Amino acid sequence: MAASRPPVRGALRPSDAAPLPSGEVLLLERAYNPERGVTSVRVREIKRGNVRPGATLGGRLVATFAPPLTLDNFEGIAAFRGHKGETRVLVASDDNFDPVQQRTLLLMFALRHW
Protein backbone atom coordinates (compact mmCIF):
# COMPACT_ATOMS: atom_id res chain seq x y z
CA MET A 1 0.00 0.00 0.00
CA ALA A 2 1.44 3.37 -1.02
CA ALA A 3 1.72 6.11 1.59
CA SER A 4 -0.74 8.94 1.07
CA ARG A 5 0.64 12.46 0.79
CA PRO A 6 -1.09 15.67 1.74
CA PRO A 7 -2.13 18.02 -1.08
CA VAL A 8 0.37 20.81 -1.73
CA ARG A 9 0.09 24.42 -2.84
CA GLY A 10 2.99 26.49 -4.15
CA ALA A 11 6.67 25.58 -3.88
CA LEU A 12 6.60 24.24 -0.31
CA ARG A 13 6.34 20.46 0.06
CA PRO A 14 5.78 18.34 3.18
CA SER A 15 9.06 17.00 4.49
CA ASP A 16 8.15 15.42 7.83
CA ALA A 17 5.50 15.37 10.53
CA ALA A 18 5.52 14.86 14.29
CA PRO A 19 2.79 14.25 16.85
CA LEU A 20 2.45 16.89 19.55
CA PRO A 21 1.90 15.81 23.16
CA SER A 22 -1.69 17.13 22.73
CA GLY A 23 -2.35 14.67 19.89
CA GLU A 24 -2.28 17.30 17.13
CA VAL A 25 0.38 17.05 14.40
CA LEU A 26 3.17 19.41 13.37
CA LEU A 27 3.84 19.39 9.63
CA LEU A 28 7.25 20.56 8.39
CA GLU A 29 7.15 21.98 4.86
CA ARG A 30 10.12 23.16 2.84
CA ALA A 31 11.17 24.37 -0.57
CA TYR A 32 14.79 23.81 -1.50
CA ASN A 33 16.58 24.41 -4.79
CA PRO A 34 20.32 25.03 -4.43
CA GLU A 35 20.73 26.04 -8.09
CA ARG A 36 18.28 28.93 -7.64
CA GLY A 37 19.19 29.65 -4.03
CA VAL A 38 15.62 28.97 -2.90
CA THR A 39 15.09 27.92 0.69
CA SER A 40 11.75 28.26 2.48
CA VAL A 41 10.55 26.52 5.61
CA ARG A 42 7.30 26.63 7.53
CA VAL A 43 5.62 24.60 10.26
CA ARG A 44 1.86 24.12 10.53
CA GLU A 45 -0.27 22.56 13.26
CA ILE A 46 -2.82 20.09 11.90
CA LYS A 47 -5.80 19.09 14.04
CA ARG A 48 -5.72 15.34 14.64
CA GLY A 49 -9.30 14.96 13.36
CA ASN A 50 -8.20 16.35 9.96
CA VAL A 51 -5.54 13.66 9.44
CA ARG A 52 -7.32 11.12 7.26
CA PRO A 53 -6.95 9.82 3.69
CA GLY A 54 -7.78 12.42 1.03
CA ALA A 55 -8.22 15.28 3.51
CA THR A 56 -7.11 18.82 2.78
CA LEU A 57 -5.07 19.47 5.89
CA GLY A 58 -4.90 23.27 6.04
CA GLY A 59 -3.85 23.97 9.59
CA ARG A 60 -2.62 26.85 11.67
CA LEU A 61 0.71 28.44 10.79
CA VAL A 62 3.11 27.95 13.72
CA ALA A 63 6.38 29.24 12.25
CA THR A 64 8.00 30.53 9.10
CA PHE A 65 11.78 30.47 8.82
CA ALA A 66 13.12 33.54 7.03
CA PRO A 67 16.26 35.66 7.29
CA PRO A 68 17.79 36.58 9.66
CA LEU A 69 16.90 33.12 11.07
CA THR A 70 19.11 30.19 10.12
CA LEU A 71 17.88 28.56 6.91
CA ASP A 72 18.83 25.24 5.41
CA ASN A 73 17.26 22.18 3.83
CA PHE A 74 15.29 21.18 6.94
CA GLU A 75 13.95 17.67 6.57
CA GLY A 76 13.05 16.37 10.03
CA ILE A 77 10.85 17.44 12.93
CA ALA A 78 10.12 16.00 16.38
CA ALA A 79 8.13 17.25 19.37
CA PHE A 80 8.17 16.33 23.04
CA ARG A 81 7.16 17.62 26.45
CA GLY A 82 10.05 19.34 28.25
CA HIS A 83 10.91 18.84 31.91
CA LYS A 84 8.92 21.94 32.90
CA GLY A 85 5.86 20.85 30.89
CA GLU A 86 6.62 23.03 27.86
CA THR A 87 6.34 21.69 24.32
CA ARG A 88 9.75 21.43 22.66
CA VAL A 89 10.24 21.10 18.91
CA LEU A 90 13.39 19.86 17.17
CA VAL A 91 14.03 20.67 13.49
CA ALA A 92 16.91 18.97 11.65
CA SER A 93 18.78 19.32 8.37
CA ASP A 94 21.70 17.37 6.98
CA ASP A 95 24.42 18.35 4.56
CA ASN A 96 23.66 15.53 2.07
CA PHE A 97 27.45 15.05 1.78
CA ASP A 98 27.72 18.58 0.34
CA PRO A 99 29.20 20.74 3.13
CA VAL A 100 29.80 23.59 0.67
CA GLN A 101 26.08 24.28 0.05
CA GLN A 102 24.39 22.63 3.06
CA ARG A 103 24.90 22.12 6.78
CA THR A 104 23.90 19.56 9.35
CA LEU A 105 21.83 21.43 11.93
CA LEU A 106 19.63 20.55 14.88
CA LEU A 107 17.54 23.46 16.16
CA MET A 108 15.31 23.38 19.25
CA PHE A 109 12.38 25.67 19.99
CA ALA A 110 9.82 25.97 22.77
CA LEU A 111 6.20 26.48 21.75
CA ARG A 112 4.27 28.90 23.92
CA HIS A 113 0.64 28.36 24.86
CA TRP A 114 0.48 24.72 23.75
Model confidence pLDDT, tens digit, residues 53-102: 888 778 999 999 887 888 888 899 999 999 998 999 999 998 888 877 77
- The pLDDT confidence band at residue 10, using thresholds 50, 70 and 90, is low
Residue 7 domain-assigned? Answer: no
Residue 5 domain-assigned? Answer: no
**CB-CB neighbours of 80 under 10 Å:** 13
Residue 31 domain-assigned? Answer: yes
Residue 4 domain-assigned? Answer: no
Domain tally, the chain: 1
Residue 8 domain-assigned? Answer: no
Burial class (CB in 10 A: 0-12, 13-18, 19+), 110: exposed
What's this model's pTM, rounded to 2 decimal places? 0.81
Chain length of the chain: 114
Please give the Cα distance from 17 to 79 (Å, whole number).
Answer: 9
Residue 64 domain-assigned? Answer: yes
Whether the pLDDT of residue 9 is over 70: the answer is no
Residue 35 domain-assigned? Answer: yes
Domain span including residue 84? 13-111
Distances from the Cα of 99 to the Cα of 32, 34, 72, 75, angstroms: 15, 12, 12, 16
Residue 2 domain-assigned? Answer: no
